[in-house]
Amino acid sequence: MSDHDYRPKSKVGQWFNDRLPLLTLANHLTDYPTPKNLNYWWTFGGILTFCLITQIVTGLTLAMHYIAHADMAFESVEHIMRDVNYGWLIRYIHANGASMFFLAVYIHIFRSLFYGSYKAPREIIWIIGIIIYLLMMAAAFMGYVLPWGQMSFWGATVITNLFSAIPLVGEGIVTWLWGGYSVDNPTLTRFFTLHYLIPFLILGLVVLHIWALHVPGNNNPVGIDIKKPSKDTVPFHPYIVIKDGFALLMFMIVFAFFVFYAPNILGHADNYIEANPMVTPAHIVPEWYLLPFYAILRSVPDKLLGVVAMLSAILILAVLPWLDTSKIRSAVFRPLYKQFYWILVADVLILGYVGAMPAEGLYLLIARVATAYYFLHFLVILPVLGFKEKTLPVPLSITEPVLGGSPNLAAARNKESKIE
């Protein structure tokens, strides 16, 4: 990369940079050549970074006031809400921030799926992303347990009990996870510890995620390899910085709406009832962002197979770069894949919906069909499609369709207008 030749102008800068090349790094980040045709779906990486930092900062503040004890956790949350200066604001940002985080990550993941960003040479970026996503789910789940409301307690009971499905050692593992024979104070304190730890693991992985991204550079809506830097690219600063900033502000407006005007709409009312091991809530449901996987879990009649299906649904994403056999990245040039993509989106939304409903009758049937389709998409449709699909002609560069001269001019123009 050309920025290795970077030399700071000032003497002090040079002295420092020779010893620790932070300025070279900063220069690399500002000059980083970025495809100029990135659309707004590409702004969610920056938005996610913002979400992570927000969660860490608000979380640290909450941890100063929160008491991780089964008898005091619920009360300490109420203390934060009532008596800590702006405690209500910090807690509502943190609680809704989790939802916003997942909203953004789902958009980010489905962006990758549409534009084939997981394909060579970006498999490692994608796999690190899946690990981050798994850690996010773990952090969110444990965070939801901390207020020690009814849904916290029973959610923790249901999810930790999944491990009992493991043959032979299952029961032992559950006892080990709980630190006792039921979800209780030891469970709460270890969940708090891990909830505090995981965001920093995520932060480290985010650095790797971005590092891995900066080796091949960004994918783009056309999905072709581009020369960098070239007239197809713009420097990250100021072009992408301002665009990401604009999208982030739009996102923050939605975020603020939830925090200030509907702070509890995404939560469950039962979590304002203090945990009571003697009373089971009528419906135990996880937070909305875990519902599709909850639906998959419940759609399998056997407990162990249900757990396996749920985990596979996530882990299958890690091998996606090898399941998708198509050489073409962007769905823009894959007419059939594009349709299957939207069916998958609908399928996941349906799974989310039935995940919130009682697992019986029609809901259960829909959940089963949707679960089967989910795996069908990844295991059958994608591998076959790569061989069977007749893809559209792909332009040779990003500027080409704009400036003309492409042998596929008409097709490329047509695509270009669709991208915007």
Q: Which residues bind other proteins (CB under 8 A)?
A: 36-37, 39-41, 75, 78, 81-82, 88-89, 92, 103, 107, 234, 238-239, 242-243, 245-247, 249-250, 252-254, 256-257, 259-261, 263-266, 269-270, 272-273, 282, 288, 349, 353, 356, 399, 402, 420
Smallest distance, other proteins to C-beta of residue 325, A: 28
Distance CA 208, CA 217 (A): 14
Smallest distance, other proteins to C-beta of residue 117, A: 17
Distance CA 142, CA 41 (A): 29
Please answer whether residues 219 and 116 qualify as being in contact, where contact means their C-beta atoms are separated by less than 8 angstroms.
yes
Distance CA 9, CA 44 (A): 34
Pick from 41, 199, 197: nearest CA to 117:
41
Residues in contact with 148: Cβ distance below 8 Å, sequence separation at least 6, in sequence order: 70, 73, 74, 77, 188, 274, 275
Smallest distance, other proteins to C-beta of residue 113, A: 15
Smallest distance, other proteins to C-beta of residue 137, A: 19
Kindly tell me which of 6 and 239 has the beta carbon lying closer to other proteins: 239
Cα→Cα distances 80→16, 62, 73, 196, Å: 44, 8, 11, 18
Kindly tell me which of 143 and 267 has the beta carbon lying closer to other proteins: 267
Kindly tell me which of 212 and 367 has the beta carbon lying closer to other proteins: 367
Smallest distance, other proteins to C-beta of residue 257, A: 7
Please answer whether residues 380 and 365 qualify as being in contact, where contact means their C-beta atoms are separated by less than 8 angstroms.
no
Kindly tell me which of 168 and 249 has the beta carbon lying closer to other proteins: 249
Cα→Cα distances 148→71, 84, 142, 310, Å: 9, 19, 11, 25
Kindly tell me which of 21 and 245 has the beta carbon lying closer to other proteins: 245
Smallest distance, other proteins to C-beta of residue 10, A: 27
Kindly tell me which of 134 and 345 has the beta carbon lying closer to other proteins: 345
Kindly tell me which of 25 and 254 has the beta carbon lying closer to other proteins: 254
Kindly tell me which of 6 and 272 has the beta carbon lying closer to other proteins: 272
Smallest distance, other proteins to C-beta of residue 45, A: 15
Question: Taking the mean position of all CA atoms in its chain, how far away is CA 31?
Answer: 27
Kindly tell me which of 169 and 254 has the beta carbon lying closer to other proteins: 254
Cα→Cα distances 179→158, 172, 176, 191, 251, Å: 16, 10, 5, 11, 40
Please answer whether residues 166 and 157 qualify as being in contact, where contact means their C-beta atoms are separated by less than 8 angstroms.
no
Helix locations, 185-333, DSSP H = 185-214, 241-261, 291-299, 303-315, 320-323
Distance CA 60, CA 138 (A): 18
Kindly report the backbone phi and psi dihedral angles of residue 186, in degrees, each rounded to the nearest multiple of 5, phi listed first: -60, -35
Smallest distance, other proteins to C-beta of residue 81, A: 8
Task: Name the 3-class secondary structure at 368.
Answer: helix
Kindly tell me which of 75 and 171 has the beta carbon lying closer to other proteins: 75
Residues in contact with 195: Cβ distance below 8 Å, sequence separation at least 6, in sequence order: 139, 142, 143, 146
Instruction: Compute the CA torsion angle 200, 206, 211, 216 (nearest 10 deg).
Output: 160
Distance CA 123, CA 319 (A): 9
Residues in contact with 338: Cβ distance below 8 Å, sequence separation at least 6, in sequence order: 114, 331, 332
Smallest distance, other proteins to C-beta of residue 89, A: 7
Smallest distance, other proteins to C-beta of residue 265, A: 6
